[in-house]
Each structure stands twice: as C-alpha cells, then as structure tokens.
Amino acid sequence: MSDLRDLYQEVILEHSKAPRNFHGLAHANHRADGVNPLCGDQFTVYLHMDGDAIRDISFEGSGCAISKASASMMTQILKGKSRAEAEKLFERFHKLVTGEEPAKGGEDLGKLAVFSGVSEYPARVKCATLAWHTLHAALVGEAEAVLPEDE
C-alpha cells in the first residue's frame, strides 16, 4: 500500500508543478471564483458550454499542491463530459475525499483515485474539493463557490 501511496503523491506533485488547462478561456460562457480560506487556495474556473456539454474547461489561480493538482485533473477529466456527468463525478469524488465511500468511489473515479489519501487529513478536504465546488458554481450560474462548513 505504501508503494501505491508514493505513486499517488508523485501524480499529485506532477500535476501541481505542471497543471493542465491552467490559463484563462477567451470563449468561456460560464465562470466562477472559489476561495478556500483554511489554506488560502483560490481559483477561477472557466467553462465553454455547448448546450449541456463541456466543450472546454480551464482554471487560473494559486493554491497548495493538492488544490492545484485537483483542479488540473478535474479539467482533464471533464472536457467533453455533460453537465450531469460532471455533477455525478463531483459527488463521487466528494465521497472519496471525505472517506464516505472510499473503495467504491475509487474504482469509478479512475485517475482521481490518487486523492483517496486526502480522507485521512480532514483539514485538506477543502483543498481537494475547491475546484469542484467552483465548477459547480459555474455550472449553476453562481459567481462564487460556497464551501460547506461540515465538509
């Protein structure tokens, strides 16, 4: 298990050093800002929606390795997905990082399983979910993400 953990850490570090889709989006038609006051992470998520499909997605901002890697991998996975698929993935991901449904969540989430270790560090859960909360805000037309108190 420790080998797997090392691998997971490597993936997270790699994404935080070279985040994917890390730029503004000139043709964005949805955007939202998100701030995690516990850690100081802050991101803007941009979406180019075509009906219910996410044609393009990007993010900008700054944050710790976990928050940046999470945003980076989220943008990779959601490109081409539908609004409903994105919300479903968020639900699964949330269960994974809060430890609510570790094994099952991990299986379905593919690459996002690298964040399973976050459930052991409750203070870092918001780092991992910030980009997703911000995505949700953008999808529903809110300008700012609301992070739940009890996460």
Beta bridge partners of 53: 50, 82
56: number of Cβ within 10 Å: 19
Q: Determine if 64 is a binding residue for Zn ion (CB under 5 A).
A: yes
Q: What are phi and psi of 54, to 5 degrees?
A: -85, 100
Name the minimum Å distance from CB 147 to Zn ion.
Answer: 12
Choose which of 19, 30, 31, 41 interacts with Zn ion (CB under 5 A): 41
- Does 39 participate in binding Zn ion (rule CB under 5 A)? yes
Per CB under 5 A, 13 contacts Zn ion: no
Q: Which residue in 67, 70, 72, 119 binds Zn ion (CB under 5 A)?
A: 67
- The residue count of the chain comes to 151
Backbone angles phi, psi at 88, to 5 degrees: -70, -40
Q: Which residues bind Zn ion (CB under 5 A)?
A: 39, 41, 64, 67, 127
